[in-house]
Amino acid sequence: MFHRLKTDFRLSIIALLAACAVLGITPFAVMRYLQGNLPAGLVDTSILLGICSALVYAWVTGDTRRSGLAVAVIICSGAVVVGVVVGEPGLFWLYPCLVTTFFLTNARIAVVLNIASVVALMVHGGAFRSDIQMWSFSATALVVSACAYVFAHRNHDQRERLEHLATIDPLTGIKNRRSMDQELDLAAANAERTGLPYALVLLDIDHFKKINDEHGHGVGDDVLIEMVELLRQNTRKSDQLFRFGGEEFVLLLPGVDGIGLKAVMNNLQQVLRKYMKHPGGSVTASFVVALLKHGESVASWLDRADAALYEAKETGRDRIVFADAQRTMDREGGSAEPLSGA
């Protein structure tokens, strides 16, 4: 639970607002019911239930965009109604709303909500003792909104940069292992739900250490970058490429199996053989293909691919080995022998 709150910023804001609503609004709602102020008590109760319902929806569905917008609308409209019903003391509830809207939804919607809330209170006018107080409140609300906008905008940029650093390999520009783990989990869940086949290709550059030792790490880096570019050019937009570590890469192929998968792998192997070069000659790679089995865990999926990679290296490298050759060839109606390089 805490891990999810740490990794989902908007969900954490919604949860924080729900906690504050329970602790901060509940006493006022009870007090107003006891005082016989039924309209104000109902407003407080409605705000409380609305925020809590949005939290439950966000937690169950993971849709923090819609739930965040709903909470922003609830708290702003609720603060306006409180100001109208309670009068001057209720105006203070709008200030925290003006700040949090920028963290609950996008900046344009937050600006519209904030302006609409202030204008609604000004048009009604009943919460202000004088025009001076009304315009003073409007000016301070504008300053609070502007400061919240700047802070939220910078916070959003910094979070995007951190997420980029955490999920992207700095050398090749593709997703790293952390991002791969997340995408494989999503793929496994989608396969279980829809039956869509997924193939995992584990690719290892042959004799990469020798390239580094004889020609330097700069040449080795160029080989990695060139390989990534070739793989990108010869795979679909729906395919995902990850750097697994060192000279190992993982390619996730959705919706491919059988004969189609064999053709894809042969094409990739031929492309690398033809175009991958370094000062000492050509560069080859060993490929391992593992189809996700029904009900299989991601860990088992990767373990099968890793075991097959050992076989590919032991049997000569520069070859394609299917971790589940029998299953793949049965779909093709062909031999169960793994593919190998020429």
Residues belonging to the active site: 247
What the block records as the tokens of 319 is 């070859």
Q: Sign (positive/negative) of CA torsion 86, 87, 89, 91?
A: positive
Q: Which whole-number Å values give the CA distances from 317 to 29, 277, 284, 340, 342, in the listed order?
A: 72, 17, 8, 9, 10
Q: CA–CA separation, 101 vs 108, rounded Å?
A: 10
Phi, psi of 147 (to 5 degrees): -65, -40
Contacts of 86-95 with CB under 8 Å at 24 or more apart are: 86/40, 86/127, 87/126, 87/127, 88/127, 88/128, 88/129, 88/133, 90/127, 91/121, 91/127, 91/137, 94/118, 94/121, 94/141, 95/141, 95/144
DSSP-derived secondary structure letter, 168: B
Residue 169 phi/psi, 5-degree rounding, is -75, 120
Tokens (6 digits) for 308: 């097959």
Residue 285's Cβ-count burial label (10 Å; 0-12, 13-18, 19+) is buried
Strand partners, 253: 199
**Residue (of 23, 24, 3) closest to 12 by Cα position:** 3
